[in-house]
Copies of this chain bind each other. A is one copy, B any other.
Amino acid sequence: MKAAMEYVAALPAEALHTFTRSVFEKVGIAPAHAADGADVLLWASRRGVDTHGVRNLKLIYLRLLEEGLLNPKATFSVEHETLVSATVNGGGGLGLAAASWAMRLAMDKAEQSGMAFVTMRNSFHLGAAGYYPAMALERDMIGLCLTGRFNPQGTQIGVPPTFGSMPMFSTNPIAIAFPTDKEAPWVLDMATSLAPYNRVVLYRENGLPVPPQWGLTDDGQPTPDAQLMHKMWPLGGDRAHGGHKGYGLSMMVATMCTVLSGGWDDGHDGDEAAFNGYKQSGDSHFFGAIRIDAFRPVDGFKRGMDAMIQALHAAPKEEGQDRIYVAGEIEHETEQQRVRDGIPLTAVTVADLKEVSEKYGVKLEI
């Protein structure tokens, strides 16, 4: 096994953006949605979040399209709304575009009302959850995104509840962003599991061992083998290490996304019987936007964020450590470097992109 990720090429972010957008258009996705999709994937790739970047173009989105699960012609619709809320239907379309639309809806409502939340059912994988709260930063808002699934009959790979032996939750992430003044924007984007499952897959496809503390085999044994790690630990791990809190956060995410949107019965209050069958189509999400000046002037808030971050930077370090980071900081620095030097690609991703390029007749120079 290799010891670290190996990259075989690097491409300019702009070239990859154009390629991704063009491929999405080629498979029938509307230009505006294709552009949103490319924005989300490249945001992750630029920031070093390779688990959620262009690597997933073939692996997730084109696969869902080819399997006929994802409707390229989807439109997104509001099923219920107030001045501060909306329950929306993703139309079974590209989650990257549906989620971008829903986050804009939340921000537009917040612009008028001070804050707004949008819960969305019938969507698909939305990419890096952190992208959506980060959209709120330039509008001087706090942004929020949750995305989650609950599988009552279990799922092959996922997070079991504390004391349970069957994976039932996805790795249901929480993402929140706060604007700053001079410091890098504060962007927390965390699975409520110890590690996101996409990272296990990334390690697997690159022949890397997985840290065994991340999860267990079907038989409940720790394993460094990504092929066998099916039960992901919630944040905290077992009960003695606080895993019931990670499980609690995961269930909170599932509730705000699926129960609140009706994404879990899909009858959306029209079909009483559906609850017994727990029908669930696609993925469900939750978005929030909060105007900072609903509470205090924006400048003071941003200076406060900077002050907190600077105090953390200046604090004494653990032995062997020379920096204290805050959420989003490593990704911010990676972004500056990758915008300059290009997005590094593994051999697996290069092969995938070449295959996509040929299959859909969209040129990409690697």
Chain A residues in contact with chain B, CB under 8 A?
80, 82-85, 87, 113-115, 117, 119, 150, 152, 154, 160-166, 168, 174, 176, 178, 186, 188, 190, 194-195, 211, 213, 220, 235-237, 240-242, 244-246, 248-249, 251-252, 254-255, 258-262, 264-265, 268-269, 275-276, 278, 290, 292, 294-297, 299-301, 303-305, 307-308, 311-312, 315-319, 321, 323-327
Contact B275 A304 (CB under 8 A): yes
A-B contact pairs, 8 of them (CB 8 A): A80-B296, A82-B294, A162-B325, A163-B318, A235-B245, A244-B325, A248-B327, A260-B296
Contact B304 A259 (CB under 8 A): yes
Contact A115 B236 (CB under 8 A): no
Contacts of A244 in B (CB 8 A): 325
Given the known interface contacts A220-B318, A255-B308, A304-B264, the answer about A164 and B324 at a Cβ–Cβ threshold of 8 Å is yes
Contacts of A305 in B (CB 8 A): 255, 259
CB distance from A119 to the nearest CB of B (A): 5
* Oligomeric state, in copies: 2
Contact B114 A82 (CB under 8 A): yes
Contact B248 A242 (CB under 8 A): no
CB distance from A166 to the nearest CB of B (A): 5
Q: A85's closest neighbor in chain B, by CB?
A: B294
Contacts of A264 in B (CB 8 A): 304, 307-308
